Structure 1
């Protein structure tokens, strides 16, 4: 019994020592992780300032940045009058694709009684080839309006690059700590932090890709139309204009009547000839029928006359 009482304090002291060591290790790991997270957050939040400070300290080389190093988003619109909008749209697509660009949107309107149709295209043109492509597009017809606008996003691009670089380094360090972590709480904490950093990194990279696409490919909205059809209102507005309109209408009617008569005259003549021929044929048939009828009636009555005469003599004799 005494042995068990003596062993308990030793085990208690050993447990206290082990617990102290584990607590110290946990505190050290927590402090290092917190310091690392804090350092990462600080560097992540102040990435743009650090980048600017490094640029200012680099012998002023970035202070005299050339125009070619700037990141510009160029957008514009071009309105043109062409003879055939659909055909001109096909030519515009060929010009843009030949320069390495693409067409993001296209819409067409069929010709009507008021215009010859229209076409609208959203063109994405490589920034270095923008001027050459615009010059080729001008040959499709008459340019009614053309305008461009540019937005300088150089600082935004640099800040985004710095944030992505810092976040990648922080993610790699957290991944390294996770590889060496043994305590379940440390593993859970590091995995949550790593997942959050990776999600944010993917979001920034997607934003970077979108920004790079806008910078590398300029956007031009091309509108192609024809000359509008002018409808003149020539309705009479006075007595003389009404008289003139009526006289013109009469002449138009007479002209149309003569044209119709000229078209129908051959048919009327042919119909009259056919009718005359049919009438003659009917008369011939009737004449023959009448003759045959008369002849048959004469042949029937001729043998009856002697009998009638004989009867008369017999009656006389009696």
Structure 2
């Protein structure tokens, strides 16, 4: 009896399940049919379906644009720019750029200026590097463009979002490891274990500080864009071509020759004036040396002359008589010739 009741209960449950399935399919078919009717009615009214689709498309486009703009705003972008500007006055332009950078919340990181000279003409060239907040980068470029003629302009960007995310993840892991090491340090029971954990803590702390410095550097470069402005004053135009020598006028040739003579004479005088001290310095030892040698040679000559004076005197005495006689003979000879 009990078994029959159980069989009947199972059969009843199966019948109820089948009826529920048929009812569900009927409801689904009715829902589907209702949907088709709605689509047909909207198709019949040609002016009502298209605006609805158009509105939905605009909404989808706007939402996509908003999401793209938000994603772009969330990116970490480093911008570096370079501009070459030709201006009439270097100092005025450099001061204006520096003042604008400070007014916008930035600063001047580097600058350089060089003076060029050609005969009597002078001009300056150089550069100034400013760092301004990222939102002030384009206004800064516009301001620089108004200072003179822009000869070249370029901007480079670098996306460092992934680097910042990686650094943050590594910092999170290192901080968690540092917390665990601190817990182990408090629970350590031996001195050796304390020393080992303390050494690991120091290493982890160094890594954390290093990554934090890298992250701050990237964030600083993202927050402040860099613009290098190279400033050039116009170089003087080359002088007119000189007139050939044979086509010059007589007056100009004479004046040029006079100028050359004056320059040559002045050069000689300047050279003589510059050499005079050296000549004096060199002449003193030369004159002193000659006098010293002459003073040493005179006593020797006098000694030799005194020792040989007596014999020579005797010979000279005889020779003197001969010399006296010889002149007496000469007049006689001459007189004889005259008589003849």
**Superimposed CA distance per residue, residues 235-293 of structure 1 (whole angstroms, 9 cap, x where no aligned partner):** 34xxxx4443335825988xx9xxxxxxxxxxxxxxxxxxxxxxxxxxxxxxxxxxxxx
Partner of 1:211 in structure 2?
218
The answer for the alignment partner of 1:225 in structure 2 is 232
Picking from 239, 242, 245, the partner of 1:235 is 242
The one of 249, 253, 274 equivalent to 2:252 is 249
The separation in 2 between residues aligned to 1:224 and 1:250, in whole angstroms, is 43
SS at match of 1:123: strand
2:114 match: 109
Contact kept, 8 Å, 1:95 with 1:137, in 2: the verdict is: no
C-alpha distance in structure 2 between counterparts of 1:65 and 1:193, whole Å: 41
Q: Does 1:81 align with 2:90?
A: no
SS of 2:123 mapped into structure 1: coil
Cα 1:64–1:225 change in 2 (3 A) is: closer
**Aligned residue for 1:122?**
129
Give the unaligned 5+ runs of structure 1: 1-61, 257-318
CA contact (8 A) 1:118 1:225 kept: yes
Is contact 1:86-1:108 (8 Å) kept? no
Seen in structure 2, the aligned counterparts of structure 1 residues 248 and 195 have a Cα distance that, compared at 3 Å, is farther
CA gap 1:247/1:95 in 2 versus in 1, 3 angstroms: farther
CA distance in 2, matches of 1:102, 1:215: 15
Q: Is the Cα contact below 8 Å between 1:86 and 1:118 reproduced in 2?
A: no
**Aligned match of 1:98:** 103
Q: Secondary structure at the match of 1:219?
A: strand
CA deviation after TM superposition for structure 1 residue 72, in Å: 0.9
In the alignment, the residues of structure 2 paired with residue 63 and residue 197 of structure 1 have an alpha-carbon distance, to the nearest angstrom, of 38
2 CA distance for matches of 1:183 and 1:213?
A: 45
Q: TM-score with structure 1 length normalisation?
A: 0.55
Name the CA shift for 1:126/1:168 in 2 (closer, same or farther; >3 Å): same
- Structure 2 distance, partners of 1:209, 1:194, is 22
Q: Distance in 1 between matches of 2:147 and 2:122?
A: 18
Q: How far is 1:127 from its partner?
A: 0.7
CA distance in structure 2 between the partners assigned to 1:64 and 1:77 by the alignment: 27
Judged with a 3 Å threshold, the aligned counterparts in structure 2 of structure 1 residues 64 and 78 are, in CA distance, closer, same or farther, namely closer
Q: 1:153 aligns to what?
A: 160
Could you list the per-position Cα deviations for residues 103-150 of structure 1 after superposition, in whole angstroms to 9, with x for gaps in the alignment?
111111235236511231111111111011111121211111110000
Tell me what 2:54 maps to: none
Tell whether 2:232 aligns with 1:189: no
SS of 2:102's partner is helix
Matching residue of 1:166: 173
The normalised TM-score by structure 2 is 0.51
Is the partner of 1:103 in helix, strand or coil? strand
Tell me which residue corresponds to 2:141.
134
Q: Distance in 1 between matches of 2:141 and 2:101?
A: 9
Tell which structure's C-alpha radius of gyration is larger. 2
